[in-house]
Chains A and B, each alone.
Chain A
């Protein structure tokens, strides 16, 4: 119960950091979707590019997140401390699930449907809009869901480089060896991840009813 009181005491801080956290994740995943989904679609049109591009995204994923934040700091314009650097790193990390899922989703659409579309006189754009994208939407959404849940966890680390978000609570708790502080950051972050997973999962299922 000590934790509950502590939590209530600090609720203004926790609420503010949660809002920052949501903002950082939303902006990062939003940008990653804006880049990753069209790029994934492009890759299905130019399969020779798919290996190097997806390979690159794969390599980024293997870089430990704290290290990536650190690498970006000295770079002019995009670097420095704070939210900008955090968003850039988060976007890079979010790319792989989005690229992979978009590519896989579209290439797994029944080719005879795409061919039928071609045969009845649909342009490439019409086929994309009316056949390939609607049918691969659940897979693409799964990619968004995975990216989002990952991003929520990664954003906590961004506090090391001066970004906002619940990581600040956690880092303070670490320096004070105070588990209440750590929990005050970790519990809302975990809750955010659960909510995001649930919401986006529900959306995925709703859209695949239509299959």
Chain B
């Protein structure tokens, strides 16, 4: 009995999870909005006395997803459309509710992960162009691109280029064949590339702050190729049980972050070049959430 006891104490002492019961690992993908959301989750948890490990700016959707499954992450913010088409590899529908219900169900039953209710904004893909180009070529919707496929130069992130529901799906849906191969770029560079006329259009997000700043034209998805991308947090139920504050924080965010708010936060970081932690802290104080 004595030896077992000692062994048990040793094991307990060595298991980090046990020694840090109130510890949560927050992840995010590698673009501004994601970093802001991750920072928000982290600061809200810390305000409630939870120790947070930040793993922000991870390589992309799949890295975050794998990490969450493996338990290397406890929570990150995902988008319903991405989960549906890229992760579950199912066909997109235009129905936001149906999309949300499907991913929530599939994640719970097949993956053992939970979705919060949507945070309140749809971060759909935005095909952005400089206004001069859009005017000159009379392009307003995505189906207008075909007429100019010989001369337009596309630019986008590596993930979108490779994803099944990404570039390949887009060119199929709109019957496009660009003469110029799309350039793969780090996401942070796409707007710079666009403004310096090194590409003609880029795949950004609807909530990107720089779209507003540069007065860019967002082309209409007239064939509804892109599914809805409602943002919500995805998390491990075990963590929510272990750390009650997590559930509290998540319900605080549900339905309370709209597009305007998100865009403004994005702009503060991308345009005004303020640091994400400060921007988030100011925002939380303003909202009285801390």
Interface residues of A (CB under 8 A from B): 16, 73, 80-82, 159-162, 168, 171-178, 181
Asked whether B186 lies within 8 Å of A160 as measured between CB atoms, the reply is yes
Asked whether A175 lies within 8 Å of B162 as measured between CB atoms, the reply is yes
Residues of B within 8 A of A173 (CB): 162
Q: Mark B125-161, 1 if CB is under 8 A from A, else 0.
A: 0000000000000000000000000000001011101
Asked whether B198 lies within 8 Å of A168 as measured between CB atoms, the reply is no
Interface residues of B (CB under 8 A from A): 59-63, 66, 155, 157-159, 161-163, 181, 183-186, 189, 192-193, 196, 198
Q: A176-B162, A176-B163 are in contact. Are A161 and B185 (CB under 8 A)?
A: yes
For A80, A175, A177, A178, which residue has the most chain B Cβ atoms within 10 angstroms?
A: A175
Tell me the smallest distance from the CB of B245 to a CB of chain A, in Å.
30
Please name the residue on chain A nearest to B29 by beta carbon.
A175
Looking at chain A's contact residues, the main secondary structure is: helix
Residues of B within 8 A of A172 (CB): 158-159, 161-162, 184
Residues of A within 8 A of B196 (CB): 80-81
Q: How far is the CA of A171 from the CA of B187 in the complex (A)?
A: 12
Asked whether B198 lies within 8 Å of A175 as measured between CB atoms, the reply is no
Asked whether B184 lies within 8 Å of A80 as measured between CB atoms, the reply is no
Asked whether A159 lies within 8 Å of B184 as measured between CB atoms, the reply is yes
Tell me the smallest distance from the CB of B125 to a CB of chain A, in Å.
15
Asked whether A81 lies within 8 Å of B189 as measured between CB atoms, the reply is yes
Residues of A within 8 A of B66 (CB): 177
Residues of B within 8 A of A82 (CB): 183, 198
Q: A168-B184, A172-B158, A176-B163 are in contact. Are A81 and B193 (CB under 8 A)?
A: yes
Q: How far is the CA of A161 from the CA of B183 in the complex (A)?
A: 9
Which 4 residue pairs are nearest across A and B when measured between Cβ atoms?
A: A175-B159, A175-B60, A172-B162, A177-B62
